[in-house]
Structure 1
Amino acid sequence: MAGLFRKVYDWLLRTFWATEMDVTMIGLQNAGKTSLLRVLSGQEFTIDSIPTVGFNMKKVQRGHVTLKCWDLGGQPRFRPMWERYCRGVDAIVFIVDIADHSVLEQAKFELHDLMNNQSLKGIPLLVLGNKSDLPDKLSVDELIDAMELKRIGNREVSCYGISAKEETNLDAVVQWLMKFAR
């Protein structure tokens, strides 16, 4: 009986008090943006994801909140588009492969370059260290230091370690994002 009540309650919330929020997911190529979005939207994790060309969008439903997630390509030719797709969103999610130390400097540069845009002032930032299931990964504290997250101002900034493959810490990510639903 409790399960039926919950389904009716969730339907009422979605129907009469639904909230939709826009989220942009960015990061360098191979960070796991598309894999994360697939898992969040209820699909299976696949090891052989095709790189995103341009962008892709999926909606993720959680209770009365629908997260409209834009997954932008991370290759150098797509990075100039990031700022345009980040304008006016409810949250920006920057994903970093924490097991690939060779990309950290470039990831830091791209993140800080993007966050310096006045058009993005005040938009909350969530940095996700993906691939926490792999050896030689950075800890969350090491990622915060490597990305110099304490230097980013004019917004709320948070950082989590996740694994899209193992679905580690994804509930915390969704809860953090839902805080900013309007």
Structure 2
Amino acid sequence: MSGFFRRIYDWLLRMFWATEMDVTMIGLQNAGKTSLLRVLAGGEFTYDSIPTVGFNMKRVQKGHVTLKCWDLGGQPRFRSMWERYCRGVSAIVFIVDSADASCIPVAKDELHSLLQKPMLNGIPLLVLGNKSDLPDKIGVDELIDVMELKEITNREVSCYAISAKEETNLDAVLQWLIGRAKK
């Protein structure tokens, strides 16, 4: 298909068959949520992201699907807001710094506490072990174990190792999310 016809085809898809889905990205501070969202939205990775205060929202266009991504602050004072922004979304994305072993038990407790909320039952969960490019990171199998993801039974759960910096596995993340778009 020539470039001109591809653009018309893409425009028609967006106009008549477009799907918009809400996705909430949560995780402890410094896990890489904002960096990941910036890269997914087509921007550059930067080392100097300032901590998110409250929340950000960005739209990520992938074919005929628009992901409306909510990026919530991960500091303790913002964690009580997580449930409100997770209600009714197409997917919850929980990001873990897989190279910081000291934060993983807290991340596990926060995730399991959040998933106890009845309003969130059944919402698919994608856990991302970010910073897979760093030497002291843990792998996916270990992350599944330490985060006790096999204990979560009231929803679909998937887990990937990613690197926002190296853009590792981001296509798989987008494909997983698009697969959960409500038609």
TM-score normalised to structure 2 length: 0.98
Q: Give SS of 2:77's match.
A: coil
Q: Give SS of 2:29's match.
A: coil
**C-alpha distance in 2 between matches for 1:45 and 1:100:** 19
**C-alpha distance in 2 between matches for 1:23 and 1:141:** 24
Q: Give SS of 1:11's match.
A: helix
The structural deviation recorded for 1:90 is: 0.5
What CA deviation, in whole Å up to 9, does each residue of 1:72-118 have, x standing for no partner?
Answer: 00000000000010000000000000000000100000000001111
Alignment-derived partner of residue 111 in structure 1: 111
Alignment-derived partner of residue 91 in structure 1: 91
Alignment-derived partner of residue 102 in structure 2: 102
TM-score normalised to structure 1 length: 0.98
Alignment-derived partner of residue 80 in structure 1: 80
How does 1:3-152 map onto structure 2 within 5 Å? 3-152=3-152
The structural deviation recorded for 1:2 is: 2.8
Q: Hey, which bits of structure 1, 4+ residues long, moved more than 6 A? A: none
> Aligned pairs, how many?
182
User: What is the percentage of aligned positions where both structures have the same residue?
Assistant: 80
Q: Give SS of 2:76's match.
A: coil
Structure 1 unmatched ranges of 5 or more: none
Structure 2 unmatched ranges of 5 or more: none
The structural deviation recorded for 1:10 is: 1.0
Comparing 11-20 and 24-33, the one that deviates more = 11-20
The structural deviation recorded for 1:3 is: 2.8
Q: Letter of the aligned partner of 1:22 in structure 2?
A: D
Comparing 170-179 and 2-11, the one that deviates more = 2-11
